[in-house]
Amino acid sequence: MTKKVLLHTCCGVCAYTCVERLKNEGFIPVAFFFNPNIQPQIEYQKRRDAAFIVAETLGIQILEGEYRPLDWYKDLQPYGQETEGSRRCQLCYKLRLEESFKVSIKESCDYFTTTLSVSPHKTSSVIIEIGKDISRENFLSFDFKQEDGFKKSISAAKELNLYRQNYCGCTYSLRDRNNG
């Protein structure tokens, strides 16, 4: 029987190549947009809308988690001064993947995984280790950067005229972009 995979989805741009790859490998992907890290809310809305466009274009189901940025901020604020890729980011991945695992069980999915490994700014092995720590049995260890994943996502985003962000998502990454 075809296996269902809950795909934690950070944005529409990254989602495209991951959905295609999962389908090519014989899975049924279900997108799950859960990103309380994204600030401000208007930015959240733009990324959310782009993810929904991709899901509709590729004919898959998409779910949206609760947007509670204050909860995220409460947990991650102590790491605000750290640089991108630091402990702060690892906790941010963990928080989103833990919720994705819970939702994958609730939605009767066989596995869960994440679009986060597409980004050239993120270390796939770190993301995969965090996923496996949450559930060795249920986490699908895909490195979506492989097979030109990012390049394919960018060209799909251009074709669909998707919104493309220029910072990772949280206020700290926005601050660093503005200072850099």
Which residues here bind ligand SF4, judged by CB under 6 A?
Answer: 37, 84, 88-89, 92, 168-170, 172-173
What whole-number distance in Å separates Cα of residue 48 and Cα of residue 62? 10
DSSP-assigned beta bridge partners for residue 113: 7
What whole-number distance in Å separates Cα of residue 30 and Cα of residue 1? 16
Task: Please say which residue, 36 or 149, places its beta carbon nearer to ligand SF4.
Answer: 36
Look-up of token digits 């269902």: 4
Task: Please say which residue, 2 or 166, places its beta carbon nearer to ligand SF4.
Answer: 166
CA contacts within 13 A on the Cβ side of 52: 9
Minimum CB separation of residue 81 from ligand SF4 in Å reads 12
DSSP-assigned beta bridge partners for residue 112: 6, 139
Task: Please say which residue, 7 or 109, places its beta carbon nearer to ligand SF4.
Answer: 7
CA angle 129/131/134 to nearest 5° reads: 110
Minimum CB separation of residue 26 from ligand SF4 in Å reads 30
Task: Please say which residue, 37 or 114, places its beta carbon nearer to ligand SF4.
Answer: 37
CA angle 116/34/101 to nearest 5° reads: 80
Minimum CB separation of residue 19 from ligand SF4 in Å reads 21
Task: Please say which residue, 11 or 109, places its beta carbon nearer to ligand SF4.
Answer: 11
The CA distances from residue 148 to 8, 75, 82, 153, in Å, are 20, 34, 30, 9
